[in-house]
Structures are given as C-alpha cells and as structure tokens.
Amino acid sequence: MDPTGLDLPPFAAAFVFGLLGGAHCIGMCGGIMSALSFAVPPSMRSPARLSGLLLGYNLGRITSYMIAGALAASLGTLLSLTAPARLILQGLAALMLILMALYIADWWKGLLRIEAVGRRLWRHIEPLGRRLMPVVKLPQAMALGAVWGWLPCGLVYSMLTWSLAIADPLRGALLMGAFGLGTLPALLATGFAARQLSGLIRHRATRSIAALSIIAFALWQLWLLIPAGGAHSG
C-alpha cells in the first residue's frame, strides 16, 4: 500500500522532497561541505580529487539515511499490524511533512524541538568523525559521510516518519535513498553556479513555493485518509 495515498510513485515523491528541501540542506549542511573541502591539504585539492571526496561524503551520508529508513520501517512493521495503526502512521507522516514545509519556509521552527531529541545520540557519534580528519582518501570520505548522516535534522526526521508508515524495511531504505539523492544538487553545487543556485534556493519566494507544494501534497494525503475522501477519490 502506497503510504502517500496518491498514485505518484513514492520514491519519485521522496526525490522531489529532497530537491524542495534544498534550501534547508544548504543552510544546515552547506557549511559542513565547505569545511570538509578546506580541511583537505592544499596540495591535494585538485578538482578531480575534491569531486571524488565530495561524492564520497554524500555516498556515506545517503547510506546512513538508508540504514535509518530500514530501521524506521522495521519499527513500522510492529506498529502497523492493524488498520487503525496504519492510518495513524500515515496521518503522522502527513503532519510531519507539513511541519517540514513550515520549517523550509521559515514560517515556524517547531522541528527544531524534534532535532533536539537527536542531539543526545549525536554527542556520542560526532567524535567518531573527528578521528577521520583530515580526509585525503575516498574510504575516509565515505566513513565521515556515514557519520554525518546521523546529524540531527528535522527534514530527515520528517522522511523517516514516512518510512515508518511504509512498514517495509527494503522500501523504507529505498525511500530514504531517493530522498538523499534529491538533496545532492544543493550540496554538490560548487563555484559560480553554486552561488546562483544558493541564491535561488534561499530566495523567500522559492522557499514559499516549495513549502506550499509540500503542504498541498500532505493535505491531499490527509484527505484520502478520511473515508469520504477515499471514496470520492475512487
């Protein structure tokens, strides 16, 4: 059963959410990408090497997202044994998407409170990343990216709730993988094009349009969870 309540492929939707969440990704993780690049010894900052390391960071990050998605979906298999529980999970996923949209548009920062929960775990994981610095090899970059993937992030938590509603470990992992791929353009863009992309994504109108699109999607999902709405949808 598609947890979105729509005919859209859920993996495609997750990828789009990653793209729309680019404004948040640049604000939260753009500084990390810059810091990791500057940490590479100057003699090793060739375009080819830096490109490989940046891809390695993000491959590790997305792998952690997929592991988290599989874990959340595994929990969902225990919580969604009944139809009412399934509806509750789907409704919660829709509400989390709305919170994510409010966060992206800077209309409400309630997700910061949810992120605070993950900071306890992050305090134990973050020191592992320090031991990998400075990064000069691809395996180091992937390992550091895997650590980075557990950074407290309300956007990621919103998608994990969706994985919880899927209640299928494989699909939960693939959903988070699609979401992670959607965040790549915002984090990999560099140079002059990056400044243009950053300005576009940070623009209030762009953030508002992205937020309204996500809210519309979430409200439609909630509508289809209502018996009358589901009947009208055929």
Kindly calculate the radius of gyration of the chain based on its CA atoms and give it in whole angstroms. Answer: 18
φ and ψ at residue 6, rounded to 5 degrees: -120, 170
Q: Is the pLDDT of residue 118 over 80?
A: no
Digit-coded pLDDT (tens) for 152-167: 887 788 788 888 888 8
Digit-coded pLDDT (tens) for 34-72: 666 666 677 766 777 778 888 888 899 999 999 999 999
The average pLDDT across 125-153 equals 84
Nearest alpha carbon to residue 132 among 53, 45, 47, 48: 53
- Give the pLDDT of residue 71: 95
| Distance, CA of 74 to CA of 69 (rounded, Å) | 8
Provide the 3-class DSSP secondary structure of residue 31.
Answer: helix
Nearest alpha carbon to residue 78 among 64, 89, 65, 66: 89
The average pLDDT across 1-5 equals 43
- Give the pLDDT of residue 6: 39
Q: How confident is the model at residue 176 (pLDDT cuts 50, 70, 90)?
A: very high
Mention every residue, 6+ apart, whose C-beta is less than 8 A from residue 234: none
Cα→Cα distances 117→14, 36, 101, 106, 111, Å: 23, 26, 20, 20, 10
Task: At 200, list the tokens.
Answer: 């576009």
Evaluate the CA torsion angle 15, 102, 3, 161 in order and state its sign: positive
Digit-coded pLDDT (tens) for 63-111: 999 999 999 999 988 876 577 777 787 788 788 878 878 877 888 877 7
Instruction: Answer yes or no: pTM beyond 0.75.
Output: yes
The average pLDDT across 184-213 equals 67
